[in-house]
Amino acid sequence: MSVINENRLEPASKASRLACVAEGSEGEVTVRRTARGIRGKTPMEKVVNDFTFNIATANGTGSQSANLILLHSMFEMGLPVSGKNLFPSNISGLPTWYIVRVSEAGYQAPGDRTHIQVLMNKATWAKDLAALEPGSVVIYNTNVKLPVERDDIIAYPVPMTKIARSLHPKLARMIANIIYVGAIAELVGIDQAVLEKAIAKQFKGKQSAIEMNITAVNLAREYVAENIEKSDPYCLEAREKDPNTFLVEGNEATALGSIFGGVTMLSWYPITPSSSVAEEIIDYIPQLRTDSDGKVTCAVIQAEDELAAAGMVVGAGWAGGRSMTCTSGPGISLMSEFIGLSYFAEVPGVIWDINRVGPSTGLPTRTQQGDVSLLYEAGHGDTKHIVLFPGTVEECFEFGWRAFDYAEHYQTMVFGFSDLDLGMNFWVCDGFDYPEKMDRGKVLHTQEELDAIENYGRYRDVDGDGICYRTLPGSGLKPILTRGTGRDEDGVYSEDPATYVATMERLKNKIEGSRTALPQPVLREEAEQEVGIIYFGSMENTIQEIDDQLESTGRKVSQCRVRALPLSPVVEEFVQNHETIIVLEVNRDGQMYGILRKELPIDLVPRVHSVAFSDGIPPRARVYSDMILEKLEEVGA
């Protein structure tokens, strides 16, 4: 086996495009110098559009830009692709991985294994290498000067820092990232024009950055063409791209949904992974919420903490605005007292929880569905809150605006529940539908409207739906001192036992009434109706693969995607219709399972079982399908 000359950097005169060399080789390829350890002729079948990259870098080196260029390039080629950023709670230095999965079947979860590993980071080098299955590909930066001592993998050495240094010595560390993009492009077959478009998109108008990155990519391609002979089976082939689709992060979709929902006040306290919801709203206000005279129709306040952020939401909702904040679990803990106030005093507001791993500070940059029970009953005493679970970026937008309608209709706090995976990764999107007409709820604006109600009281239920009419500060119409203490139907302080009971029963009935009005579950039912899976939120992006894996064992599995709490009666019907129910979720204790156990009729409870697991990584199908199969066996289904 010959070793390549790392000092040879002169551009190849004819940069032969190596992509998919396997195509012409009749399923065989001769491994010569670069594929260490694999000697002679190896039979190989081409693998097209169905493999996973894992790119290991150090945080803060600019690798995220490189990774997004890779992701967008593949998307532009019309490939079903998903990207997962596994980043640390750190600005610079700690390990980061980016997983790009291309899947002809459209699977969006991280794959069960890595096919092509990029090694850039000294700190995780050995561990990443050891984790690879035999036959995997490693593209590594030789300038890190660490060994690749495995003879059962295909290794492609590229002197990335050295190539980068030849272009710009000072920025070499950063440019080295775009070198692996160029190397990958050359090896798997990403068209140069597509790559250049993605670079231009990434560096929006910064011409010098665009040019430098294109030059870097070309140097990388030339190096690979000249020095590496492709000996792996992994290739990309362009497909027809749906011109309606684009890539967008869930948080940006949530932000846009909120803007189109007419948010008039956003208060927020920075916290990963929710900050980008607020930052996207701030970025879109000049374009979408500013008058011709430069005045804005949405106030944005960076609060001193989450308590204040929640207080501002309650104050603005009380005054007649559409108010929201965005946060994550630790923020919800702090906001809980205000959430209870909103519930009891009946003040509308919206809180988006972009869930991260708890408890406590937990794994702050990793994903989880761990706040479900917290949100449903946040606050002391008896409470119950409306929680919306978008499963796609389209629903992040839709529930973004709907949340305000529900909040004002039910005069209560409404939660949007997203997570780091859905919120901070890019997803394929078909577009957003324009919202329906606003529901501003029961608000009396004139004396005539007030007079039309016999014996008006702020908390008197005249329609029998538990929802009372409110008047707004500034109107002068039947003012009360809104309070978190007990009060009677006129809003006057009261500790009377019967009055308290009546208030609490009405509040319960009010929220009960939302069960059929909130986004209803999405069902995919099999005729056999043996096993049904209940799941929610971003698990939507893994469920198809889980289903395929289960069906490959001969199981017929129906699915019910819950989209809101309190649960729709449709969920109970689904349970009724299936012999065995699995509640699938990304946490330890089965929080949605707990809610179902509490709310289902007692005779249905024995058929419901929990499969819950969370390790911080976006859900991988195999982990959950194995757990489901195990559980089914355990319960004899």
Partner 1 sequence: MTIKLNIIELPKSDYQGGPSSLCPGCGHDQISSVIINAAWENGIAPENIAKMSGIGCSSKTPAYFLGKSHGFNTLHGRMPSVTTGANVTNKDMQFIAVSGDGDTASIGIGQFVHAIRRNLNMVYIIENNGVYGLTKGQYSATVEVGSAKRKAEPNEQVPIDLCAMAINLGCTFVARSFSGAKKQLTSLIRAAMSHRGTAVIDVISPCVTFANNDEFFRSYGYVKDNDMELHAYDYIPHFTPLEEVEIPEGEFQDISLFDGSTLRLETVESGHDTSDAVAALSQIHRAEQEKRHVTGLLYYNPGPKTLDEWLELSETPLADLSEEQMRPSEADLAALLAEFRE
Cβ-contact 243, 301 below 8 angstroms: no
Rule CB under 8 A: choose which of 474, 497, 601, 636 binds partner 1. Answer: 474
Instruction: In whole angstroms, give the CA distance from residue 375 to residue 226.
Output: 57
Name beta bridge partners: 388. 416, 564
**Is 308 or 562 the residue whose CB approaches partner 1 more closely?**
308
Using H for helix, E for strand and C for coil, what is the string for 517-539?
CCCCCEEECCCCCCEEEEEEHHH
Q: Is 448 a binder of partner 1 (CB under 8 A)?
A: no
Residues 487-506 interacting with partner 1 (rule: CB under 8 A): 492-493
**Is 299 or 502 the residue whose CB approaches partner 1 more closely?**
299
3-class SS at 408?
helix
Q: Is 320 a binder of partner 1 (CB under 8 A)?
A: yes
**Is 8 or 241 the residue whose CB approaches partner 1 more closely?**
241
Rule CB under 8 A: choose which of 210, 299, 570, 623 binds partner 1. Answer: 299
Rule CB under 8 A: choose which of 473, 505, 569, 635 binds partner 1. Answer: 473
Rule CB under 8 A: choose which of 110, 273, 317, 618 binds partner 1. Answer: 317
**Is 13 or 244 the residue whose CB approaches partner 1 more closely?**
244
For residue 329, give the nearest of 255, 274, 406, 405 by alpha carbon: 274
Q: x-or-dash pattern for partner 1, window 133-152, by CB under 8 A? A: --------------------
From the number of C-beta atoms within 10 Å of its C-beta (0-12, 13-18, 19+), residue 360 rates as exposed
Residues 219-258 interacting with partner 1 (rule: CB under 8 A): 243-246, 248, 256
**Is 43 or 476 the residue whose CB approaches partner 1 more closely?**
476
Among the residue ranges 117-125, 370-378, 410-418, 435-443, the one whose residues contact partner 1 (CB under 8 A): 435-443
Q: Is 314 a binder of partner 1 (CB under 8 A)?
A: yes
Instruction: In whole angstroms, give the CA distance from residue 611 to residue 609.
Output: 7
Alpha-carbon radius of gyration of the chain: 28
> To the nearest whole angstrom, how small is the minimum distance from the Cβ of residue 265 to partner 1?
6
Cβ-contact 67, 95 below 8 angstroms: no
Q: Is 167 a binder of partner 1 (CB under 8 A)?
A: no
Among the residue ranges 12-20, 152-160, 374-382, 478-486, the one whose residues contact partner 1 (CB under 8 A): 478-486
Q: Which residues contact 345 (CB under 8 A, 6 or more apart)?
A: 318, 482, 483, 484
Q: x-or-dash pattern for partner 1, window 255-284, by CB under 8 A? A: -x--xxxx-xx-x-----------------
Largest interatomic CA distance in the chain: 94
**Is 475 or 520 the residue whose CB approaches partner 1 more closely?**
475
Q: Which residues contact 295 (CB under 8 A, 6 or more apart)?
A: none
DSSP character string of 243-281 = TT-EEEEHHHHHHHHHHHTT--EEEE---TTTHHHHHHH
Q: Is 352 a binder of partner 1 (CB under 8 A)?
A: no
For residue 425, give the nearest of 84, 4, 102, 197 by alpha carbon: 84
Cβ-contact 285, 258 below 8 angstroms: no
Rule CB under 8 A: choose which of 15, 94, 171, 480 binds partner 1. Answer: 480
Cβ-contact 358, 375 below 8 angstroms: no
> To the nearest whole angstrom, how small is the minimum distance from the Cβ of residue 383 to partner 1?
15
Rule CB under 8 A: choose which of 296, 452, 501, 635 binds partner 1. Answer: 296
Query: What is the DSSP-derived secondary structure letter of residue 619?
Result: P
> Site size for partner 1, by CB under 8 A?
69
**Is 347 or 372 the residue whose CB approaches partner 1 more closely?**
347
Q: Is 484 a binder of partner 1 (CB under 8 A)?
A: yes
Residues 563-602 interacting with partner 1 (rule: CB under 8 A): none
Instruction: In whole angstroms, give the CA distance from residue 417 to residue 390.
Output: 7
CA atoms within 13 A on the CB side of 243: 0
Instruction: In whole angstroms, give the CA distance from residue 446 to residue 439.
Output: 18
Among the residue ranges 111-119, 430-438, 447-455, 540-548, the one whose residues contact partner 1 (CB under 8 A): 430-438
Q: Is 169 a binder of partner 1 (CB under 8 A)?
A: no
Q: Is 435 a binder of partner 1 (CB under 8 A)?
A: yes
Query: Applying CB under 8 A, which residues contact partner 1?
Result: 243-246, 248, 256, 259-262, 264-265, 267, 288-289, 291, 294-301, 303-305, 307-323, 337-338, 341, 429, 431-432, 434-435, 437-438, 471-476, 479-485, 492-493
